[in-house]
């Protein structure tokens, strides 16, 4: 489908809920009438097993099979190997063969775009393609990121009261900062509302805008919301202790970035300006 969205779910840390998020998001979208393909891009095959395929090593066609055909410049059936699940989602499974596949990618032409070649063939049949990545930044994950239009980074936010830390160019802390802002937008947006995520690239910064059409923040409170434990008048009845935005600003500032907020009766936009990494 022309407007198919390809989303990679990734985090270098394991056990943060990537596979759980992929399964639940996929099934949830399918129940809304969307056509969804899940791609298991982890040799542990957790996504494959989570959907009931308990012997992934016995599956004849998997992600590694398809990617090998692309590397070998062989014709392949884009629908071959896709399993149709009872929950209304499709799955391209994985197994242990994927663990050795990165070695084969080393000398491949356009090695970071092999998976993208496959995704470009199947995306016309789906509204969403979700790629569950392994907990590393190897060539398979790089393939997933190259194939994706956007990225979801599941993470586990932790409260660090009284502890100093260095966050410069830290993947996990950046993920936590973004998650805090997204969580804030979801909490204060009514059922049926919209939360929008937009990324704009500048020469030195990436600007990430998180916008909602929720209750808005009164002008007299906008200068206070980044204070530790601050809870506005409209926060009554909403879960939280007032630490998320404080921690977010601290993380962004320590990475030589900054955060801005704009709000009115139509909603709120938080803009995170994150300094781009430049290789020396």
pLDDT, tens digit (0-9, with 9 covering 90-100), for 45-95 = 999 999 999 999 999 999 999 999 999 888 888 888 999 999 999 999 999
Across the chain, what does the average pLDDT equal? 83
Statement to judge: residues 88 and 177 lie in one domain: no
Asked whether the beta carbons of 115 and 141 are under 8 A apart, the reply is no
- The share of the chain scoring above pLDDT 70, in percent, equals 88
User: Strand 195-201 and strand 205-212: pairing?
Assistant: antiparallel
Total structural domains within the chain:
2
Three-class SS state of 132: strand
Statement to judge: residues 200 and 107 lie in one domain: no
Range of the domain at 24: 5-152
Statement to judge: residues 143 and 67 lie in one domain: yes
Q: What is the mean pLDDT of residues 245-272?
A: 87
Residue 161 lies in a domain: no
Q: Where are the beta strands (DSSP E) in the chain?
A: 5-9, 36-41, 83-84, 90-92, 128-133, 150-152, 195-201, 205-212, 258-264, 267-275
CATH code, domain with 68: 3.40.50.300
Q: What is the pLDDT of residue 159?
A: 43
Residues 6+ apart with CB under 8 A from 23: 38, 47, 50, 51
Asked whether the beta carbons of 84 and 90 are under 8 A apart, the reply is yes
Q: What is the mean pLDDT of residues 141-146?
A: 88
Residue finishing a domain among 152, 183, 198: 152
Note the maximum CA span of the chain: 63
Q: Is the dihedral of CA 172, 216, 209, 130 positive or negative?
A: positive
Report CA-CA distances (Å) from 228 to 224, 247, 248. Answer: 9, 8, 11
Statement to judge: residues 177 and 57 lie in one domain: no
Identify the band that residue 236 occupies on the pLDDT scale cut at 50, 70 and 90: low
């Amino acid at each position: 489908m022309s407007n198919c969205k390809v989303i990679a779910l990734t985090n270098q840390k394991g056990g943060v809920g990537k596979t759980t998020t992929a399964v639940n998001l996929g099934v949830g979208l399918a129940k809304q009438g969307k056509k969804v393909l899940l791609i298991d891009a982890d040799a542990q095959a957790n996504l494959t097993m989570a959907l009931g395929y308990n012997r992934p090593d016995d599956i004849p066609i998997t992600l590694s099979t398809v990617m090998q055909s692309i590397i070998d410049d062989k014709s392949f059936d884009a629908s071959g190997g896709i399993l149709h699940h009872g929950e209304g989602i499709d799955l391209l499974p994985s197994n242990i063969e994927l663990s050795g596949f990165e070695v084969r990618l080393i000398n491949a032409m356009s090695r970071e775009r092999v998976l993208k070649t496959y995704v470009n063939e199947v995306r016309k049949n789906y509204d969403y393609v979700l790629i569950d990545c392994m907990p590393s930044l190897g060539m398979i994950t790089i393939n997933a990121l190259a194939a994706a239009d956007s990225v979801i980074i599941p993470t586990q936010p932790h409260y660090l009261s009284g502890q100093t830390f260095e966050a410069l160019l830290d993947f996990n802390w950046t993920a936590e900062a973004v998650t805090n802002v997204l969580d804030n937008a979801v909490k204060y947006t009514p059922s049926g509302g919209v939360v929008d995520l937009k990324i704009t690239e500048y020469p030195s910064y990436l600007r990430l805008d998180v916008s909602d059409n929720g209750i808005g923040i009164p002008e007299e409170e906008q200068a206070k919301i980044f204070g530790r434990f601050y809870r506005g008048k409209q926060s009554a009845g909403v879960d939280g202790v007032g630490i998320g935005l404080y921690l977010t600003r601290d993380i962004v500032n320590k990475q030589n970035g900054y955060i801005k907020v704009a709000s009115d009766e139509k909603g709120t936009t938080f803009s995170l300006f994150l300094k781009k990494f430049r290789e020396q």
